Amino acid sequence: MTQSSDLRDKLISILKLSTFLIFLGRAYQHIVWDAPYRTFLWDEAILKGVVENTFGVTWNDYVTSLSAANTISFSIKTIGVFYLLCAIVTLLIKPNMKKLGKFFLLGGSIGLFILAILYCKEKFLHVGQFFEYMIQFMTPVLLYMMLFTSLEFKKIRLIALIAIALTFSCHGLYAVGYYPRPGTFIDMTLNTLPISEPSAHVMLKIAGILDFVVAIAIFIPRISYAALVYAFIWGGLTATARLVGHFHIEFLWNSFSQWTWEMLIRLPHALIPLFVLVADRPDMRFLKGIPFWKGTQTV
């Protein structure tokens, strides 16, 4: 696929925005809230021998130690600062900053990859839980490949499609009930739509089936455009539902603080389908009014 400089700028801009939102959301999560590192650090089966043999303390002393708890909390906030730096670098990075890009984009992606593993472990090693985060940890890699490699765009596009397919299909596994359907799915649906709880369950099952359909349809040329448009719209709706579905005017700050970052890390579920849409159909009318950063890449 041959790309004009203007089209390449648009594609890089979408990836920059997507990567920035992920890093910013994760930074806020780590600095203000928490992340599931303790699911590993407090796993007796894995770390008991290491802790007792290396540090010479009993496992019970380790898990009840205020000093150890404070060290873990400080480390999580430090990781959050790293993600914040990743977000800032993402906005400023240019094609002549390969070393900086390698450290922050790929380093940040590795951090997101590890985070996906931890969430998977926390959810009883559900493989779907890990791959549901694929768009998130692959987006910085896509940006790196667009900025700093000579990889053919059709291969980058294929990687993006695989990330979309796995994210949507694994989300569908929870929606249809293959894995236990999260209560937050029901709460968001009931809080955003005037329907009953039984109807919410039916709606989620239908949405899950459509997730599977999209995961297949985006690879079929004749229907990929329609499937990607649906993925763009549905990805955006499910992301914003994180905030809208948990918004309470009487707890205004808590609503924004607790749920805005959850929305930010999921907006790429809409932006990565948009990335492929723009690549395939750069003349789409609804893009005319969308501002893009200029001068990000020349060819």
Higher pLDDT, 162 or 286: 162
Split at pLDDT 50, 70, 90, the class of 298 is: very low
In a domain, 54, yes or no: yes
Lowest mean pLDDT among 28-32, 53-57, 141-145, 170-174: 53-57
**Which structural domain, as residue segments, surrounds residue 15?**
5-287
In a domain, 297, yes or no: no
Number of domains in the chain: 1
In a domain, 298, yes or no: no
Cα separation, 133 vs 121, whole angstroms: 13
Q: What is the pLDDT of residues 215-256, one digit of tens each?
A: 999 999 999 999 999 999 999 999 999 999 888 888 888 989
In a domain, 293, yes or no: no
Q: What is the pLDDT of residues 126-163, one digit of tens each?
A: 999 999 999 999 999 999 999 999 999 999 999 999 99
In a domain, 12, yes or no: yes
- pLDDT of res. 283: 66
In a domain, 37, yes or no: yes
Split at pLDDT 50, 70, 90, the class of 299 is: very low
- pLDDT of res. 284: 61
- pLDDT of res. 184: 86
How remote is the C-alpha of 100 from its chain's centroid?
Answer: 22
Which residue, 207, 35, 202, is CA-closest to 133? 35
Q: What is the pLDDT of residues 75-127, one digit of tens each?
A: 999 999 999 999 999 999 999 999 999 999 999 999 999 999 999 999 989 99
Counting Cα atoms < 13 Å in the Cβ hemisphere of 18 gives 31
- pLDDT of res. 288: 52
In a domain, 215, yes or no: yes
In a domain, 35, yes or no: yes
The pLDDT of 177-186, averaged and rounded, is: 91
For residues 243-266, one letter each, b for 16 or more C-beta atoms within 10 angstroms of the residue's C-beta and e for the rest, the string is bebbeeeeeeeebeebbebbbbbb
Contact 233, 211 (CB under 8 A): no
